[in-house]
Amino acid sequence: MASSLLSELMRILLCAFVLSVHSPFEKKVHVHGAEITVPVSSLSPSANCTASTTNVNSTLKLVHKYGARSQLFDGGPINHTQVLLEDMARVKWIQSKISNSISGISDLESAVNLPASYGPSSSSYVVTIGLGTPTKDLTLLFDTGSALTWTQCEPCIVSCYSQAEPIFDPSRSSSYANISCSAPSCLNLPSGTAQQPNCSDSTCVYNSTYGDQSFSSGFFATETLTLTPTDVITNFEFGCGEDNEGTFNGFAGLLGLGRDPVSFLEQSATQYGQYFSYCLPPLSSCTGYLTFGRGTVTSPSLNFTPMVTIGQSSLFYGINITGISVGGNPLSIPLTVFSNAGAIIDSGNTFTHLPPTAYAALRSAFQQAMANYTSAPPFSQLDTCYDFSGVSTITVPVITFSFSGPINVDLDASGMFFWVSASQVCLAFAPNIADTSVSIYGNIQQRTFEVVYDVPGGQIGFGAQGCS
């Protein structure tokens, strides 16, 4: 009897060992889910990971632009300073648009001198779509904060930036057609581009300006857009850019998923009902997905929070943050700190930007919980960093965001940190210039969740472990 019990015990221990070896992202939950233990190696961008297993219709493979960059450009390691510059400049662009819609004044615009050439061009993730007949594959930055979809087109009458894939040539597509200046869609362009269209021989010319040095200009046209062999959108209205400048990282253009009549979301409403979701993978080297339509949601359980409008701009997807907890303990942050300026969820911003009052409370609680780990120097605006070199596992407090609904979202370990090196791993949050600036819920914090945008239902959903 004793020998059989011993054998059973050995079998259980062996199974536990095998699971620990083959599940590098497995979390060990401690007291009331207040903290989690993960291997340090699981936070490294070079860690091995499994591609998303989602296999439903209307689904595109989604990758980080620097992960894709190695495939398209034979690029080297991630330039972490570039990531930070792009994030800060995108915050400037978003704050400017939202602040202008509220009061005409941007706190960030006046307080920070950053390159204005980023904006949507600093969006973080890319997808590949087909355009034209016959179809030509194009890799586009996808952006929930932009409306117009555009790509570079031949001939580049003025200039085009360097692009990895062949530039789209409309003269070789049988389904391409220009849109006239009198067409309703041309007249409605300012809502999606913030610029009045021009005319060239009665043909609508769009101008989309994202900053002092970043823009796209060309013909507003219709074309056949292909997501998958069974998902084809005819007469899709897009920008065929023949004069383009900016830091678009060598990708072909932009896929706009904001709330605007010119966006892909609105144009595909008949097929997909203004409903889409994505899962951002835990690491930049991994694969996630972007999928369209209500029947494509894969998460076993979703929790929804209302979708709101911030200021006068309906382009961005607003959410109501009601609180933050660290290690199961709610932070003492007045609700007005979040409600006064509001918040948006954004696919393009890398980090979550909080009101200074909220950020200070989060930083203090996190530093206290991580007091046993060696601190590392700050990395630009990321001021809470740790040296995990020589450490195999770390135990970190769970960071929980509370949204109206009410719902609570426990961040994945990959959603808390920005990896510079093993000796410099930083808390992936930053403070805004002032409490009056809108908060931005960034894409690092969205990692591993299926994030669902139900525009007709006016809600945004979060489903844990959404990439599997």
Give the long-range contacts of residues 363-367, CB within 8 A, separation 24 or more. Answer: 363/427, 363/429, 365/326, 365/327, 365/329, 365/331, 365/397, 366/326, 366/397, 366/399, 366/427
Q: Cβ distance 255 to 225 under 8 Å?
A: no
Cα-based distances in Å from 395 to 206, 239, 385, 387: 52, 48, 15, 14
Among 46, 50, 43, which Cα is nearest to 393's?
43
Q: 102 in helix, strand or coil?
A: helix
Known active-site residue 201: no
C-alpha span between 21 and 237 (Å, rounded)? 50
Question: Catalytic pick from 143, 260, 412, 435?
Answer: 143
3-state class (DSSP) for residue 40: helix
Catalytic residue among 346, 412, 435, 454: 346
The structure tokens listed for 141 are 């930055």
Q: Is 346 a catalytic residue?
A: yes
Closest to 439 measured CA to CA, from 415, 465, 403, 405: 403
Going along 287-368, which residue ranges are E strands? 287-292, 303-306, 308-310, 313-319, 321-326, 329-330, 343-345, 352-354
**Alpha-carbon span 220 to 203, nearest angstrom:** 8
| Number of Cβ within a 10 Å radius of residue 143 | 25
Q: Which residue type occupies 408?
A: N
SS3 307: coil
Q: How many Cβ atoms are within 10 Å of 376's Cβ, its own excluded?
A: 19
Phi, psi of 40 (to 5 degrees): -60, -35
Q: Which residues does the annotation mark as catalytic?
A: 143, 346
